[in-house]
Every structure is written in structure tokens, then in C-alpha cells.
Structure 1
């Protein structure tokens, strides 16, 4: 379904993903797994729980050891 969602990552979230998704041996290959586990899966759970509505802007920032995912607004 077309949910018209917009993802807004701030600089802390981008830096967190880059740090967690990079490995000196494998390069950026682990990034896909980090994005799935720490970003896509939590957003999917929030969608299923009805916490994020169609047309929402999803704000993502990083605090300590995890990403913070919140809804900013609905278009």
C-alpha cells in the first residue's frame, strides 16, 4: 500500500547508522542489516500498532545506543 511516508534522519541518526553499519573488514556490508534491525523493523512495528499514520513524516535521531523514532507531522 502507498502510505506516503517521509523519513527524516537528522545528523545524529546518519552518524549512528554509519558507525554501526561499518566494519573495518567488511566495509559497509553490515549497514543493510543495521538499517533493517534498527530502523525498518521498529518503523514496521509502529505502523502495525497504529502509532504512525499514512502521510506521516517520521523523525529519526540517535540517543546513546539506539535510534529514536517519532512521528513529526501528517501531510
Structure 2
């Protein structure tokens, strides 16, 4: 889905939000997609450009937090 407004973006990410007990990898994918949605909206909803950029930053911080919970790949 391509959101055209910040309101549409909020609704879209709310609907696709994983369950609280979802694995960190699921939350990681969700935050990646959410950041992309808000970044796209920042380009097209010029009335809410700065607010959408705030959400991009906010979600990227959540993404960084989740990355710390992901299992590390084993080295051979």
C-alpha cells in the first residue's frame, strides 16, 4: 500500500502491527517497513513533511533497539 497522507500511514502501520509477543525478527521487519512508509509520506504529504520525518526518526530508534535483541550469526 502506498500511503498518501500521514493519517493513512498511521492507519496502515497500526493494522500491520505484530502481536506484542512476536519474535524480535518480526518486530524488526515491521519497523523497517514502517520507517519506509513514513519516509514515503514525508515526500508526498507536504503539509505533514516534518511530522512524518519525526516518525521516521522515532521508528528507526525502535529498529535499533530491536536489532540489539536479534540473535548474532555464528562465526565458523
TM-score scaled by length of structure 2: 0.32
Q: Which has the higher strand share?
A: 1
Structure holding more helix per residue: 2
